[in-house]
Amino acid sequence: MQLPDAEQLLETLAEQIHPLLRENTALVGIHSGGAWLAERLQAMLGGDIPLGTLDISFYRDDFSRIGLHSQVKPSSINFEVEGAHVVLVDDVLYTGRTIRGALNELFDYGRPASVTLAVLVDRGGREIPVEAQVVGAKLDIKPGESLELARDVTGKFHFILHEAA
Amino acid sequence: MNNPQLTKDGKLKHLLSIEGLPRAILNQILDTAESFAGVSEREVKKVPLLRGKTVCNIFFENSTRTRTTFEIAAKRLSADVVSLNVGTSSQSKGETILDTVDNLIAMHADMFVVRHSQSGAAHFIARHVPPHIHVINAGDGRHSHPTQGLLDVFTIRRYKPDMHNLRVAIVGDLLHSRVARSEIHALTTLGVPEIRIIAPKTLLPQEVERLGVHVYHDMREGLKDVDVIMMLRLQNERMSGALLPSAQEYFKCYGLTQDKLALANPDAIVLHPGPMNRGVEIDSSVADGSQSVILPQVTYGIAVRMAVMSILAGNPDQ
């Protein structure tokens, strides 16, 4: 399968987010791919937009089955979430469960005025009613396969497709 | 060797002592605690990890502070918490402990936090409980107090991230201290190259050198150029015995004062597990001074206990 150019998708993502920007907009990336993207988007969109990251390990719905992820990164939201227009950024939208966890965590920091979901790729396969407003590309990935965003030494993004085991 | 703290595949199941825990697990606890430290500063100081779980604090020996921090930690993880203060005076302790535990298991408790004046009490309970239940040792006799040891190490790491370059001094009643033992094991496992023990001969356990520490009887000599000073609490009941002449005499030789602190590195930090005896093991001006990290220790203690509870709860023994 031909995988799209992640850098190109990031450009289109930035173009789509740009008109949504208003006073009190903030970018929040979900660890780890979404956090990398949010950081790059901040630079592309003009640098002074507040930036945060979420690690949703404490909000996962499969904790009782698989336990705590061995490498939890601290979430970092250093702006006032109360009243902010948050653009939530993730790399790949699949079942929607990660986004559910991220929304719950985000609201524990305060009540945002709005939340917009921006993803690089929507691969289908939703298990809960979550949709992204901003989508780089829609791809049809088989269940069992996983699409991963990777970053090379120069900071450039590319996709890796892991075949079903 | 079969380690009662670990599951068959090497994950942390109970926290009974720091002794025997691999470095990877210590680091996992400390790294996870970093994430929990942020939770306590948020608008909503709670995460849903232990929702629906019941944590029982069983304190056979009183300790308000340790019990409170475990309670807060469990509540910030959304667990339901029950705290029992069980008197130690009841006869036939063995039987009483297991009866207490069995009753709580019948009420579907998921985790026990155990404090007991006898060494090995938490191990005893951990051997008894069914596989889905987790046990945390909150201090047993003179043996171990692993979460205190972990929170001390977490505090040190926060202020002095380069653990491989540290000189640490532990000062005071090593003989009766379960905290010191846990601290020494944690510091050694994490690669701290030099640990000094400063105490009078009467308050040192036999063969303490075998833990890999350097022993000093002269506090001024021992504090020279250290980066971290960990003071231990001197229990008042020790004063009445033959171990020490008087509190004043002890303060003169082993109390941490500004002029003794000046012998350490200028950016050295001072820790104390609490509760403090001001004017016995530590001078008020040091306890409240700029180098003291005693209150941050309390704050970090909650994050560390949240980390331990959530890691245990996620590792059932199948």
CATH number at residue B79: 3.40.50.1370
Among B14, B29, B298, CA closest to B189 = B29
| Same domain, residue pair B269 and B287 | yes
Write the DSSP string, B4-72: TTB-TTS-B--B--STT--HHHHHHHHHHHHHHHHHTTSSS---STTTT-EEEEEESS--HHHHHHHHH
Hey, of A32, A72, A105, which one would you mutate to test binding to chain B, going by the most B CBs within 10 A of its CB? A72
Euclidean distance between CA atoms B313 and B110, whole angstroms: 8
Q: Which residue of A has its CA nearest to B48?
A: A59
Catalytic pick from B14, B76, B115, B181? Answer: B115
Contact B38 A58 (CB under 8 A): no
Question: What is the percent of chain B with per-residue pLDDT over 70, rounded to a whole number?
Answer: 94
| Same domain, residue pair B27 and B125 | yes
For B234-292, the pLDDT digits (tens) are 876 666 666 777 888 899 999 999 999 999 999 999 999 989 999 999 999 999 999 99
State the pLDDT at residue A12: 96
| Same domain, residue pair B192 and B267 | yes
| Same domain, residue pair B44 and B118 | yes
pLDDT at B201 over 60: yes
B275 cis-preceded (ω within 30 degrees of 0): yes
Euclidean distance between CA atoms A8 and A10, whole angstroms: 5
DSSP secondary structure letter of residue B106:
H
| Main-chain dihedrals φ then ψ at residue B6, nearest 5 degrees | -110, 150
Q: Which residues in chain B are contacts of A55 at CB distance < 8 A?
A: 35
Among A68, A149, A70, A75, CA closest to A107 = A75
Write the DSSP string, A99-137: HHHHHHHHHTS---SEEEEEEEEE----SSS---SEEEE
State the pLDDT at residue B91: 42
Q: Which residue of A has its CA nearest to B53?
A: A64
Decide: helix, strand or coil at residue A95.
coil
Instruction: Calculate how close chain B gets to A103, using CA atoms only, in Å.
Output: 13
- Residue B157 located in a structural domain: yes
- Residue B122 located in a structural domain: yes
**The CATH number of the domain covering residues in A6-162:** 3.40.50.2020
- Which residues have a Cβ under 8 Å from the Cβ of A47 and sit 6 or more positions away? none
- As beta bridge partners, residue B298 has none
Instruction: Calculate how close chain A gets to B132, using CA atoms only, in Å.
Output: 11
State the pLDDT at residue B242: 67
pLDDT at B95 over 90: no
Contact A74 B28 (CB under 8 A): no
Contact B32 A55 (CB under 8 A): no
- Residue B9 located in a structural domain: no
Decide: helix, strand or coil at residue A58.
helix
| Same domain, residue pair B54 and B64 | yes
Q: What is the mean pLDDT of chain B?
A: 91
A81 inside 8 A of chain B by CB: yes
Among B3, B29, B28, B7, CA closest to B16 = B3
| Same domain, residue pair B200 and B157 | yes
> Which residues 38-57 in chain A show a CB within 8 A of chain B?
55, 57
Provide the pLDDT confidence category of residue A24 given band limits of 50, 70 and 90: very high
Please, are residues B31 and B161 in contact by the beta-carbon 8 Å criterion? no
| Same domain, residue pair B158 and B294 | yes
| Same domain, residue pair B59 and B177 | no
A90 inside 8 A of chain B by CB: no
Euclidean distance between CA atoms A12 and A35, whole angstroms: 18
**pTM: predicted TM-score of the whole model, two decimal places:** 0.90
Identity of the residue in B34, B43, B49 whose CB atom sits nearest the CB atom of A74: B34
Catalytic pick from B65, B132, B214, B252? Answer: B65
Query: What is the mean pLDDT of the segment spanning B70-75?
Result: 97
Contact A108 B44 (CB under 8 A): yes
Among B202, B140, B207, CA closest to B175 = B202
Helix axes B64-76, B294-313, angle to 10 degrees: 50
Catalytic pick from B13, B67, B134, B145? Answer: B145
**What is the residue range of B84's domain?**
23-145+299-313
| Same domain, residue pair B164 and B285 | yes
Q: Which residues in chain B are contacts of A108 at CB distance < 8 A?
A: 42-44, 46-47
| Same domain, residue pair B164 and B269 | yes
- Residue B88 located in a structural domain: yes
| Same domain, residue pair B120 and B181 | no
State the pLDDT at residue A20: 95
Euclidean distance between CA atoms B178 and A12, whole angstroms: 60
Residue B66 burial (C-beta neighbours within 10 Å; 0-12, 13-18, 19+) = buried
pLDDT at B36 over 90: yes
For B37-46, the pLDDT digits (tens) are 999 888 899 9
B39 inside 8 A of chain A by CB: yes
For A36-88, the pLDDT digits (tens) are 999 999 999 987 999 999 999 999 988 888 888 878 888 999 999 999 999 99
- Residue B10 located in a structural domain: no
State the total domains in chain B: 2
State yes or no: is B93 an active-site residue.
yes
| Same domain, residue pair B158 and B140 | no
Contact B48 A74 (CB under 8 A): no
From residue B226, alpha-carbon distances to B88, B213, B267, B307 in Å are: 40, 14, 9, 29
- Residue B6 located in a structural domain: no
